[in-house]
Structure 1
């Protein structure tokens, strides 16, 4: 089965972001740095993330990488970058993720019951990534 996974691009904060998301969502984090590969990376950028992947206990996959000076960095655009959604059984998990991402967040829309019946909220986390949270009713 094919899956769609967010792949986030950072200039030089992928490791910190992925470690933060692991603290928020749980799971196993695998990081490969540019310096781990035999490709002539500048020494001061060897620690940057070439590929990072977070696999959460409930099946979510979140990936990220740094661009450093090797390629042009394209920052996240306005709008939703990551959507964390679910049904009524997922309410506590989605609400907990929202609350843990609030520290340092901007453009916060509270996670609360929306006019259409879902619990909905949005924020831009401390790394500049925009998140949407939605849990449908029973």
Structure 2
């Protein structure tokens, strides 16, 4: 058995769109399963929308991002403004700049400019159009 840890994000009904966008940015292998594609599940505490994403995975050379549509309508979990982010470390600053530009072209905004950090590496942050913060890092290049 191989052990691994993947990032899992529950988005408010935008998981398919977010995963497709991240697939355009990073490439990799994308799999999306909607509730309507799954066999009936007895004991579900809610009746899911058949078009809602039950589970999605994007496997990239850098790792796995997994997620699904949030089903808890009673709680509003904010995406942007929370304490989490995804850290993507690249081999070169130019590679990071390319990913950042794709995020910006896709409707994202700069959270922190990508530049030399006090610790000597390159670092910057972008919020994608879904509110997810992506931090990009590159060792001294």
TM-score (norm 2): 0.80
State the partner residue of 1:94: 96
State the partner residue of 2:134: 131
Map Cα deviations across residues 50-86 of structure 1 (whole Å, 9 max, x no partner): 0000011x24211110024578553335233211114
1:119 aligns to 2:122 (yes or no): yes
Q: Is the 8 A contact 2:35 2:51 kept in 1?
A: yes
State the partner residue of 1:31: 32
Q: By how many angstroms is 1:96 displaced?
A: 1.6
Q: Does 11-20 or 104-113 show the bigger shift? A: 104-113
Q: Does 15-24 or 106-115 show the bigger shift? A: 106-115
State how far apart, in whole Å, the 2-side matches of 1:71 and 1:50 are. 18
Gaps of 5+ in 2: none
State the partner residue of 1:64: 67
**C-alpha RMSD of matched pairs (Å):** 2.4
State the partner residue of 1:55: 59
TM-score (norm 1): 0.82
Compared CA separation, residues 107 and 59, structure 1 to 2 (3 A): closer
State how far apart, in whole Å, the 2-side matches of 1:49 and 1:71 are. 18
